[in-house]
Structure 1
């Protein structure tokens, strides 16, 4: 999963970004509406975490423009405003959820998982594909009941694949889901390395990862 957090409180944004990275969620940061628009012009995100009060405008104005342009990226609004009118306005403009400041990091992560789950083929917290079971909240998987030893990025890659079983995902789409702009030193070919590692984890089972040259990768369950 890759998210954009639009928040001008630098300490808060960097803390959240660092904690998200530890659970396999790539997070880019923008401190203004203009910065956010620059990011969105060049990058697709699985979700946006959008503060309402920003130095150069309102997050709700950015949300209004996104929805007017047909951008359906899930948006979680952050607000320190307690007024129900502000929350209703954000939801009416097309926000998918909101979270009051201060918030617990675990709740933020859970709400992001819920937003992304709405767009996925499988919507439960535990995703099953034959003998493979993956838990997004735990970032862990079992195969035939045995826990797989996965690194943080291997788990994140597996989650992308199992949320869209039988669908080919391009190398670029997988890369975007794993790495943030701060990981610019990591090349696109890193995906091939992680795919190879996952194949080894799944070897000997009925679950495998297929490659279609020029198209991408998909996870499948054989009969």
Structure 2
């Protein structure tokens, strides 16, 4: 403890503040420089004992100041390390943000493609529906004309059958009968020609067969003529 002579100085309050400040675990370093200057000026005026104690106080203050500087240096290093870590985190976060932005752009492009495919699907669906309706209508017409074709085929087949029988019998008759058969055969071929032109797109195959049958009748007629 500092004795009473120390506190009986005229600047007792200054020394009390200095002593209390230094005695604490965390002195007020911000006022250290001014206090040191005051102490130096006071040392010149008082006894050796006071000077000695004041010098001890100055050493304590200097030690605290050095320790504080070391702590500041350590804290600065820590701050720099933390800044470096924070900058690295910022760079990593920026990379993640860039990746997220790229994914957003990719999703936009995929969504745009999806809309295009969707519109294309709708268009193709309508187009296929129209094609189906056209094909359906086309087949309905084919069925309609095939009914007439069946009627015509039945009539012409019967006529060819009758003519074929007549041709077979005409072998035993004179040329007058042959001429009649030839005229009938020509009429039959005219009928075939008319039907073939009317239903050209639908009944070519059927009438091709009928025409072949008519050709057979011509050959038989020629044989009967001979």
Q: After TM superposition, is the score higher than 0.5?
A: no
Q: Which has the higher strand share?
A: 1
Q: Which has the larger Rg?
A: 2
Q: Which has the higher helix share?
A: 2
TM-score normalized by the length of structure 2: 0.21
TM-score normalized by the length of structure 1: 0.21
